[in-house]
Amino acid sequence: MKLLRMGAPGAEKPGILDANGTPRDLSGVVADISGEALTPEGLAKIAAVDPASLPELPAGRIGPCVGAVGKFLCIGLNYADHAAESGMAVPEEPVMFAKATSAICGPDDDVKIPRGSEKTDWEVELGIVIGKGGVYIDEADAMDHVAGYCVINDVSERAFQIERGGQWVKGKSADTFGPIGPWLVTKDEVADPQNLCMWLEVDGHRYQDGSTTTMVFGVQHLVHYVSQFMSLQPGDIISTGTPPGVGMGQSPQVYLKGGEVLKLGIEGLGTQTQNVVRA
């Protein structure tokens, strides 16, 4: 299934794509694409409905594909070639950090460069959406806890992140720094999350052209690993890292100034398009 949310910010309606790619209204089935709707039982309830029997959603804005996200967790330096371009060693364990949930926005919403920004950058990433909650999850059981996947742009301000002291969260959490969607694609439609092409373009120039095959720590291990430090709940998101081609890795470095158009996507999970503006 491809699940989505459509409507104005804060007033999105839950939806599902039918066989023709038409968004259908799930409001009569679930309150939102969040929480209990993402559990195995909730997804089974949605799957039992014929999308063609549902009313069409009106054309308009596509919102974040998951509502009421509890935790927005990220994994850093999870592609060996990206670690190299960043001048950092491949970590022995996953590097974890968080983005504020207030950074979440729709896949085609404007990305706003924060005040004082010098080095706003891009990162196409595979997002894991948790369906079944748990803590201390065995690696062998980790995939049972995955509802599905989505495209994420882990927008980052490198000066805030690296040069201003403290934790990475400062450079990761500005408003609009977390576009997610367009869809939550349930795991049954993704044959192998470790073999997905992914790409990102700025004004038509392709900077990132990679694959999840080069992830250091795969989806299964990451769900297990994160759960050793905190419980995971339905609707939590884990963003799994980016392949090479970020602005910081260019020679000379390239950063967003405002006026650019970002386009990015992952095989089978849809695409995003964002206009870059100054806050």
What are the pLDDT digits (tens) for 116-158?
999 999 999 999 999 999 999 999 999 999 999 999 999 999 9
Residues 96 and 48 grouped into a single domain: no
Residue 59 in domain: no
CA dist 236 and 246 (Å) reads 25
Place of tokens 């470790």: 194
- Rounded to an integer, the average pLDDT of 153-165 is 96
Residues 23 and 157 grouped into a single domain: no
Q: Which residues contact 117 (CB under 8 A, 6 or more apart)?
A: 157, 159, 160
Number of folded domains in the chain?
Answer: 2
Work out the angle at residue 149's Cα, subtended by the Cα atoms of residues 54 and 276, and round it to the nearest 5 degrees: 95
Residue 134 in domain: yes
CA dist 186 and 132 (Å) reads 13
Domain with 10 in it: 2-53
pTM of the model: 0.97
Residues 130 and 192 grouped into a single domain: yes
> What does the pLDDT look like over 166-219, one tens digit per residue?
899 999 999 999 999 999 999 999 999 999 999 999 999 999 999 999 999 999
Residues 43 and 138 grouped into a single domain: no
Residues 96 and 210 grouped into a single domain: yes
What's the pLDDT at 246?
96
CA dist 35 and 1 (Å) reads 17
Q: Which amino acid is at 193?
A: P
Place of tokens 């839950």: 14
Work out the angle at residue 78's Cα, subtended by the Cα atoms of residues 35 and 197, and round it to the nearest 5 degrees: 80
What's the pLDDT at 102?
98
Residues 31 and 141 grouped into a single domain: no
Specify whether the CB–CB gap between 150 and 110 falls below 8 A.
no
Q: Which residues contact 6 (CB under 8 A, 6 or more apart)?
A: 12, 13, 15, 23, 57, 58, 60, 61, 62, 63
Residues 37 and 89 grouped into a single domain: no
Residues 7 and 127 grouped into a single domain: no
Residues 159 and 40 grouped into a single domain: no
Residues 37 and 171 grouped into a single domain: no
Residues 33 and 156 grouped into a single domain: no
